[in-house]
A and B are shown apart, each in its own frame.
Chain A
Amino acid sequence: MDYVVGMDVGSLSTDAVILDRQGGIAGIGIVRTGASSLRAAEEALDMAVSAAGLGRSDLGYVVSTGYGRTGIPFSHRAVTEITCHARGACFLFPDTGTVVDIGGQDSKVIHVGPGGRVMDFTMNDKCAAGTGRFLEVMAEKLQVGLEDMGELSNRAQGEATISSVCTVFAESEVVSLVARDHPTEEIVRGIHRAIVGRIWGMIRSLGPKGELTMSGGVAKNRGVVAMLEELWGRPVQVPEEPQIVGALGAALIALDQETQPGE
């Protein structure tokens, strides 16, 4: 087969990436997962297939990743997001040593070695603080769009302090700030500070390595990226479509399979 597929079935969104044998991206599909991972996977794949101008029969090996990776009947193999993000990030930025993925439900920091292989990793998967969920909750409290938070934050003159480690307590802090008419952009900046603080702690616990590449939806937030860069001390690498890094990594693993079959 001339094409392979990587699917990332997350709790919030489902992405599909189709690669050709040279590793070029032929088509992408992104949909909201909604209540059915399987339906979302079919939809995302259809979208990618039609973007690529192909048919289903052109597709070879399929690797799935993400929360719903094992529920996809047309997937040949399930691989964790850790391995896939490492692979995908390295493909896009070959000098990547550290991958920071801030997803909707969890966040991870991964040390990658040659070829994008995982050397070490740490995950925050028990607590909303430090994930996209934290930002969603706060954005709703502040009545701002998630996509506007980056700009607001970078515009702020000052910064409010959110001291709680817990999302629930932090939320009530934000409510008090709003009640006191504190400027929204300063609160947003404070929220970004809180999430970056958590991520930075995870990065430090592994130790810095190589260049830093971000993936996951939150990487689109320029406010968060700017704060992380301050701490990292130099620019961090952000793909154009950070959300599809996992699916891309899965597709690359599928490509390995297609070109060198048998593990």
Chain B
Amino acid sequence: MPMNPFQPPPRREYLDRKKKEGLGLIGVFPGRYPREVFWALGALPVEIWDPPLALSASGAHLQPTICSVVKSGLELILQGQCSVLDGFLFPHTCDSLQNLGSLVSDYLDVGKPCLEFYPPKTSDGTEARVFFRREVERLFHALEPLYGPVRPDAFRHWVARSAELSRALASLYTLRAQGRLNASNVEFYRLVRALEFMDPDDLLPLLTAFVNEREVPAPLGSPAIVLSGVLPGPWGLLSLLDDLGVRVADDDLIACGRRLPGIAAPEQEPMDAVTESYAGMPPCSTINAPLKERKSRLWDQVQKTGARGVLFNIVKFCEPELFAYPVLRESLKKRGVATLLVEQDGNREIPGQAATRLEAFVEMIRQDFREGGSR
């Protein structure tokens, strides 16, 4: 297999290198938060979603009914694998993450600062934006003791850079939705997930080169699905879809497509730009977006991509997703769209029976695809 020149570098190596270059590193737990603040302070946010660890120590602190994202994140800390990090940020994304932040900060002695960020959970209104701005300022104040005061032009510079990155991601997603990106599902998500730890200065050229190389003029003919849920993986799931010849044409994933920022106008003040781009993110149940908005977005994605089905890839025990799922499924069913639910429990490979279910789902949508008709 030829080496993919657009593969992001291995995470550990990359972070060690960045540390040597003098960048600060903060471990960030899952959620929506303003990356630009870190970049402006000469630091990198390093996201902790699914470190590949066998769970053992976390069982002493967390019940078995807590999701694997939270458990593996805690495991990473308990196994002492965070020496390269200067501290942690816990966004208040859900109850488990909220309490995890408190557990680590109050009950464990990690010897590093534990910060938190509270995204407003009301629908988009003036009061939410005011509170968000205050949270951004508070994040600056919390990080400045570690990294020194921020220079005003630094924030402006990195907000502009962030907008470039958002534009590059948006065009990547658009091409893929049109079926004009010749890339495997695995390749696509390795690149997109590099955002979880890479400096935009390193990632942007990769993204641009990837698009230039892989863009094709005419849509590819393979059957498409939309992926909804938390994470795109495990990698085994994506490679199985690749083997079955199915493209993920768009996604409604908390870690990826649901965090694509809105693109702010270039002349805005940096704080306004960050606030607007954040407010412009797609609807998410973790901030109580009305289900009507989620239904509408998902249907829009299905239509635009010509997807034959929606695969709900939800981490077991994830409440915001599992409450929304039946409502979303029902609305898709009414419109004749096939759906499948798979639940992830931190495995890196998908267990045999889950693979069968996926294959059966693909067989089901392929029948439809071959006949080219509605149901």
Query: Which residues of A line the B interface, CB within 8 A?
Result: 67, 79-83, 106, 113, 117-121, 123, 125-126, 263
B364 touches A125 (CB 8 A): no
Query: A118 vs B338: C-alpha distance in the bound complex, in angstroms?
Result: 11
B353 touches A80 (CB 8 A): no
Query: A82 vs B367: C-alpha distance in the bound complex, in angstroms?
Result: 13
Q: In the assembled complex, how far is the CB of residue B322 from the closest CB belonging to chain A, in whole angstroms?
A: 14
User: Across the interface, which residues of B come within 8 angstroms of A125, CB to CB?
Assistant: 353-354, 356-357
Q: Is B359 in contact with chain A by the CB < 8 A criterion?
A: yes
| Among B333, B353, B360, contact of A118 (Cβ-Cβ < 8 Å) | B360
Q: In the assembled complex, how far is the CB of residue B146 from the closest CB belonging to chain A, in whole angstroms?
A: 44
> What is the interface residue range for chain B against chain A?
10 to 19
A80 touches B338 (CB 8 A): no
A263 touches B370 (CB 8 A): yes
A123 touches B357 (CB 8 A): yes
| Known contacts A67-B356, A118-B363; 9 further A-B pairs (Cβ under 8 A) | A80-B359, A80-B360, A82-B357, A82-B364, A83-B363, A117-B364, A118-B364, A119-B364, A123-B356
Given known contacts A119-B375, A120-B338, A263-B370, A126 and B363 CB-to-CB distance under 8 angstroms = no
Query: A81 vs B353: C-alpha distance in the bound complex, in angstroms?
Result: 11
Query: Which residues of B line the A interface, CB within 8 A?
Result: 333, 338, 352-354, 356-357, 359-360, 363-364, 367, 370, 375
A82 touches B352 (CB 8 A): no
User: Across the interface, which residues of B come within 8 angstroms of A123, CB to CB?
Assistant: 353, 356-357
Query: A126 vs B333: C-alpha distance in the bound complex, in angstroms?
Result: 25
B352 touches A67 (CB 8 A): yes
Is the contact region of chain B dominated by helix, strand, or loop, or is it mixed?
helix
Q: Closest residue of chain B to A81, judged by CB?
A: B356
B353 touches A106 (CB 8 A): yes
Q: In the assembled complex, how far is the CB of residue B314 from the closest CB belonging to chain A, in whole angstroms?
A: 14
User: Across the interface, which residues of B come within 8 angstroms of A81, CB to CB?
Assistant: 356, 360
Query: A120 vs B341: C-alpha distance in the bound complex, in angstroms?
Result: 12
User: Across the interface, which residues of B come within 8 angstroms of A120, CB to CB?
Assistant: 333, 338, 364
Q: In the assembled complex, how far is the CB of residue B29 from the closest CB belonging to chain A, in whole angstroms?
A: 27
Query: A113 vs B375: C-alpha distance in the bound complex, in angstroms?
Result: 10
Query: A121 vs B352: C-alpha distance in the bound complex, in angstroms?
Result: 17
A82 touches B353 (CB 8 A): no
B356 touches A79 (CB 8 A): no
Q: In the assembled complex, how far is the CB of residue A105 from the closest CB belonging to chain B, in whole angstroms?
A: 8
B338 touches A82 (CB 8 A): no
B370 touches A80 (CB 8 A): no
Instruction: List 25 A-B pairs, Cβ < 8 Å.
Output: A67-B352, A67-B356, A79-B363, A80-B356, A80-B359, A80-B363, A81-B360, A82-B356, A82-B357, A83-B360, A83-B363, A83-B364, A106-B353, A117-B367, A118-B360, A118-B363, A119-B364, A119-B375, A121-B364, A123-B353, A123-B356, A123-B357, A125-B354, A125-B356, A126-B353
